[in-house]
Amino acid sequence: MGAAEYFETGDYRAAQAAFARALEISSAERDAGLELRTLAYATSVDHFDLRWSEVLAKSRRIRELARRVDDPRSETYARYRDAFALMQTGHADEGTLASDANLALAEQLKDRGLLADALYVKSALAQLKGEWREARAYSDRALALSAHQVPFLQTRLLLESETGNRKAGEAYLERLLAGEESQNIVVREGERARVRSGGKQTLGEAVSRRVCGQGRANAHHGTERGRNRLG
């Protein structure tokens, strides 16, 4: 109920009240499984609300619970957010370790959505560390699973731009624009014409508009797509 409350109304306080009630029940009933599932959903709300310290605190408890509760789906759901929060707070090395655990679980589950998210955060972490080959390899795998996912295309566009691959960057920008259109995301009038007109500044400006200006949207990635996977 807490996650549904938040995603339907945007009311963080009401969502936390619902989570608190669920946690009270889990404590009274000594139901570690319910506690794990509740905290997993709670990390998705904290993730979407950019409350990274809350994500990390809940993730520590989730790791403890996962040692005695066999619920790999909830654990994977939360570990993605743990890795993402570590990345967002500048802890790339710790984030890499967390993302390794997340990817291993997602591969065991063979859930396309959870696996795509795990590959996405692996690619983003490798990119931050300048590990270009690894970043591309993880990005290729993520895009193979979800070819039109806008955040995947945004980070790949940024990667190609950062490494000077203008031709590839323009190709991913075209795919990004198509992905935005297919998902009913408003594309600025004339954007496609400017891309096709050429010129170094065109790609640079496009990266700034389509990626750098989308930081909050990227930070939210995974939550909307994955919020109902535990049900």
pLDDT digits 0-9 by tens, 29-62: 999 999 999 999 999 999 999 999 999 999 999 9
Does a structural domain hold residue 84? yes
pLDDT of 184 reads: 64
**Selection from 167, 169, 99, 175 nearest residue 138 by Cα:** 99
Residue 62, domain CATH: 1.25.40.10
pLDDT at 72: 95
Which structural domain, as residue segments, surrounds residue 119?
Answer: 2-226
Cβ–Cβ contacts within 10 Å for residue 135, how many? Answer: 23
Whether this prediction's pTM lies above 0.85 is answered by: no
Number of compact structural domains in the chain: 1
Asked if the structure places residue 174 within a domain, the reply is yes
* Per-residue pLDDT tens over the stretch 137-167: 999 999 999 999 999 999 999 999 999 999 9
| 15 contacts 6 by C-beta, under 8 angstroms | yes
**Range scoring the smallest mean pLDDT among 12-21, 148-157, 172-181:** 172-181
**pLDDT at position 108:** 96
Q: Is residue 231 part of a domain?
A: no
Task: Say if residue 15's pLDDT is above 80.
Answer: yes
Q: Tell me, yes or no, whether 128 lies in a domain.
A: yes
Is residue 82 in a domain? yes
Domain membership of residue 100 (yes or no) is yes
Q: What is the pLDDT of residues 101-123, one digit of tens each?
A: 999 999 999 999 999 999 999 99
In a domain, 48, yes or no: yes
Token output for 114: 């959870």
Residue 204 has pLDDT above 90, yes or no: no
Residue 13: partners with Cβ closer than 8 Å, 6 or more residues away:
none
- Contacts (Cβ under 8 Å, ≥6 apart) of 97: none
Contact predicate 14/44, CB 8 Å: no
